[in-house]
């Protein structure tokens, strides 16, 4: 009910309602999960995109375009490639500080980007997912949101995965996420082929351009793509396309188009499950994605890696050959750039800041939590608010570096030290977004919560730094503790009292024992006096009653206790 000045007499009012009251009947709620004809995952995906676009229009940008580009280009980047037997490591340094690291072994290479002709093993309508055999042991999973509905041929039918796929059907899929633990690989049937300047999307209809490019460059690239792109394909322009000529973009499109033709030709003669296209090794992949005009130098150690990288750059970017160096010194290239030393520090749970503060990074099943502490930092004058703000700004820079170096993905929650002024909170958030401008991985920073926590999401590229250089403990299974019920009564070494320490419980026990012994002694004294008095009375009574009479009364025990309590009081 709500008040209204112009209420009509037709409204149904209760006798208890005050005048000028109108009654509204609430309509029944719509159950979206029951009314949705197609896939709920697909509808949720569309809804998130719409909300993201609307939020982006409403929210004012934290950084303008000039500040963003200046921050991205204000550092000296060096890429270092080291090959040792079957292991390849790639380090990215900015101003001499390690910010990204990639490692792979011959037997554990990533499968992301590989294209397979798989066979559907099982379709689960309630989970809106299908399990596909790709010939790699464990079945991979294909969710309804990643199905290519245009190629499914569902004319007039709801977009549900049980209508698009059946058990035993061959399906062309691409791996988007490597298997982790007990989870199989993630698949998509929306194939995309990455190139140096753009990503080719067969049978696509959309053209996207990286948001990290300025507006004038985006307009130039959009006009070029209208001339060089075929009508039956889509494209996503990468950040590396900044400044690229029309001929270079056209050559990239033609190469990827020829690659897609080879894949489709192989599909007709292949028997599922079978690998149709494999992504190049790590060195080529990282060089393709990151080596551009923003990198000052590329140092390669190892004859095999040098031949591969030199041949690739000579073919696709001959103008950058003068920035490639072959490391032939006797000193290890990672030791020269202090990469191993920084890697060991990045594997610790606690990270020290230059001023004396610290970060504590904990990874859980659901999210990664970062706690900011002042540690040894006491400030350099001013008040507490200035000290806390200075520590938080420094922590924001280091947090972004640790996210990139450790390759942390998923939900990330940062607990900064509480700040009173709103301007200081905005300053810390601005610094965080500035540093994230150097991160080429997709990320999103949410608003600061009421508890002062900063929430963000980040897409993981590889398996993670800690997973690459560690093994799960066989005793505790990664928990970090050993559970035992048989020795739970024994105190831990830290809980034992030092020599000479006073235990209040023991002091109270001794005082109570002494008090009880003192009370018992007084009770014995009273009993002896009572016995003597009784003896005198008995002797006087025996003179009349005789020596054989033994019926003298005794003092009850309750009286003795009462005398004891009385004496205590």
- 64 in any annotated domain: no
Q: Where are the beta strands (DSSP E) in 334-409?
A: 350-352, 358-363, 367-373
Whether residues 156 and 98 fall in one domain: no
Whether residues 361 and 297 fall in one domain: no
CATH number for the domain spanning 94: value is 3.30.420.60
- 429 in any annotated domain: yes
- 356 CB neighbour count, 10 Å cutoff: 15
* Contact (Cβ atoms closer than 8 angstroms) between residue 39 and residue 145: yes
- 473 in any annotated domain: no
- 239 in any annotated domain: yes
21 membership: H or E segment, kind and range:
strand 21-22
Whether residues 129 and 264 fall in one domain: yes
Question: Comparing C-alpha atoms, which of 470, 246, 230 is closest to residue 347?
Answer: 470
Whether residues 412 and 323 fall in one domain: no
Whether residues 92 and 127 fall in one domain: no
- 62 in any annotated domain: no
- 555 in any annotated domain: no
Q: Given 339, 358, 381, which residue is the final one in a domain? A: 339
Whether residues 249 and 370 fall in one domain: no
- 32 in any annotated domain: no
Q: Given 313, 339, 365, which residue is the final one in a domain? A: 339
Question: Comparing C-alpha atoms, which of 405, 423, 513 is closest to residue 464?
Answer: 405
Residue 463, pLDDT score: 72
Residue 561, pLDDT score: 45
Residue 511 Ramachandran class (φ > 0 left, ψ -120 to 50 alpha, else beta): alpha
Whether residues 293 and 181 fall in one domain: no
What separation in angstroms does the CA of 128 have from each of 8, 124, 142, 155?
51, 6, 9, 19
Whether residues 308 and 352 fall in one domain: no
CATH number for the domain spanning 174: value is 2.40.50.140
- For 563, phi and psi rounded to 5 degrees? -65, -35
Residue 393, pLDDT score: 92
* Contact (Cβ atoms closer than 8 angstroms) between residue 198 and residue 206: no
CATH number for the domain spanning 382: value is 3.40.630
Whether residues 224 and 369 fall in one domain: no
Whether residues 135 and 95 fall in one domain: no
Residue 484, pLDDT score: 79
Whether residues 266 and 123 fall in one domain: yes
* Contact (Cβ atoms closer than 8 angstroms) between residue 399 and residue 393: no
Structural domain harbouring 249: 114-275
pLDDT tens for the 569 residues of the chain, in order: 444 445 455 555 566 667 776 766 666 655 554 555 556 666 777 777 777 666 655 545 544 555 555 555 568 889 999 998 888 899 999 888 999 999 887 656 788 899 999 999 999 998 889 999 998 888 999 998 888 887 777 777 788 888 889 999 999 999 998 887 778 889 999 999 998 888 999 987 778 887 777 788 888 998 998 888 888 888 988 888 888 888 888 988 999 999 999 999 999 888 888 999 998 888 888 888 888 888 899 999 989 899 999 999 998 888 889 999 999 999 999 999 999 999 999 999 999 998 889 999 998 888 999 999 988 888 777 788 888 999 999 999 999 999 999 999 889 999 999 988 888 888 999 899 888 888 888 888 887 787 889 999 998 877 778 888 888 888 887 888 888 787 655 555 555 666 666 777 777 888 888 888 877 666 666 555 555 555 555 455 554 544 444 444 444 444 444 443 444 44
- 38 in any annotated domain: no
* Contact (Cβ atoms closer than 8 angstroms) between residue 185 and residue 64: no
Whether residues 252 and 129 fall in one domain: yes
120 membership: H or E segment, kind and range:
strand 115-124
Question: 0.85 exceeded by the pTM?
Answer: no
Residue 153, pLDDT score: 74
Residue 525, pLDDT score: 61
- For 492, phi and psi rounded to 5 degrees? -70, 155
Question: Comparing C-alpha atoms, which of 171, 236, 164, 151 is closest to residue 200?
Answer: 236
Structurally, how many domains does the chain consist of?
A: 3
β-pair type (274-277, 140-143): unpaired
Residue 492, pLDDT score: 55
Q: Given 415, 432, 462, which residue is the final one in a domain? A: 462
């Amino acid at each position: 009910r709500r008040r209204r000045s112009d209420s009509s007499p037709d409204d149904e009012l209760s006798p208890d309602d005050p005048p000028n009251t109108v009654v509204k009947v609430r309509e029944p709620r719509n159950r979206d999960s029951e009314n949705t004809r197609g896939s709920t995952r697909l509808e949720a995906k569309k809804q998130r995109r719409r909300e993201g676009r609307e939020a982006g229009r409403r929210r004012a940008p934290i950084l303008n375009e000039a500040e963003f580009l200046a921050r991205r280009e204000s550092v000296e980047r060096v890429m270092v490639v080291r090959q040792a037997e079957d292991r390849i490591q790639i380090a990215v340094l900015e101003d001499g500080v390690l910010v990204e690291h990639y490692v792979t072994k011959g037997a554990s290479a990533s499968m992301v980007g590989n294209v397979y002709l798989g066979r559907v093993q099982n379709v689960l309508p309630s989970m809106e997912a299908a399990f596909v055999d790709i010939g790699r042991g464990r079945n991979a999973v294909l969710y309804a949101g990643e199905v290519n509905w245009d190629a499914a041929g569902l004319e007039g039918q709801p977009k549900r995965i049980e209508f698009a796929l059946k058990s035993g059907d061959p399906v062309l899929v691409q791996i988007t996420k490597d298997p982790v633990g007990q989870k199989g690989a993630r698949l998509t049937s929306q194939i995309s082929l990455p190139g140096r300047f753009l990503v080719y999307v067969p049978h696509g209809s959309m053209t996207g351009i990286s948001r990290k490019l300025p507006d004038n460059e985006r307009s130039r690239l959009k006009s070029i793509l209208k001339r060089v792109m075929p009508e039956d394909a889509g494209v996503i322009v990468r950040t590396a396309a900044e400044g690229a000529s029309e001929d270079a973009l056209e050559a990239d499109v033609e190469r990827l188009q020829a690659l897609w033709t080879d894949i489709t030709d192989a599909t007709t003669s292949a028997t599922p499950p079978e690998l149709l296209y494999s992504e190049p090794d790590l060195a080529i992949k990282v060089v393709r994605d990151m080596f551009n005009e923003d990198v000052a130098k590329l140092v390669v150690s190892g004859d095999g890696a040098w031949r591969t990288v030199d041949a690739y750059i000579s073919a696709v970017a001959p103008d950058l050959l003068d920035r490639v160096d072959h490391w032939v010194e006797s000193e290890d290239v990672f030791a020269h750039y202090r990469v191993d030393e920084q890697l060991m520090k990045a594997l610790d749970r606690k990270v020290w800041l230059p001023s004396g503060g610290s970060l504590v990074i904990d990874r859980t099943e659901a999210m990664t939590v970062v706690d900011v502490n002042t540690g040894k930092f006491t400030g350099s004058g001013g008040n507490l608010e200035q000290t806390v703000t200075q520590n938080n700004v420094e922590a924001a820079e280091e947090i972004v570096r640790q996210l990139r170096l450790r390759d942390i993905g998923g939900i990330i929650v940062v607990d900064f030290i509480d700040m009173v002024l709103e301007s200081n909170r905005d300053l810390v958030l601005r610094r965080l977004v500035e540093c994230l401008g150097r991160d080429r991985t997709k990320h999103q920073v949410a608003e600061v919560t009421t508890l002062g926590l900063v929430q963000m999401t980040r897409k993981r590229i590889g398996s993670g730094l800690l997973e690459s250089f560690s093994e799960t403990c066989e005793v505790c299974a990664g928990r970090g503790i050993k559970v035992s019920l048989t020795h739970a009564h024994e105190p831990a070494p830290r809980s034992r009292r030092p020599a000479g320490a006073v235990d209040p419980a023991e002091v109270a026990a001794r005082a109570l024992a002494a008090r009880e012994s003192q009370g018992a002694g007084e009770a014995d004294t009273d009993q002896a006096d009572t016995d003597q008095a009784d003896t005198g009375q008995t002797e006087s009574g025996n003179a009349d009653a005789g020596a054989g009479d033994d019926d003298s009364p005794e003092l009850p025990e309750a009286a003795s206790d009462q005398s004891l309590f009385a004496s205590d009081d």
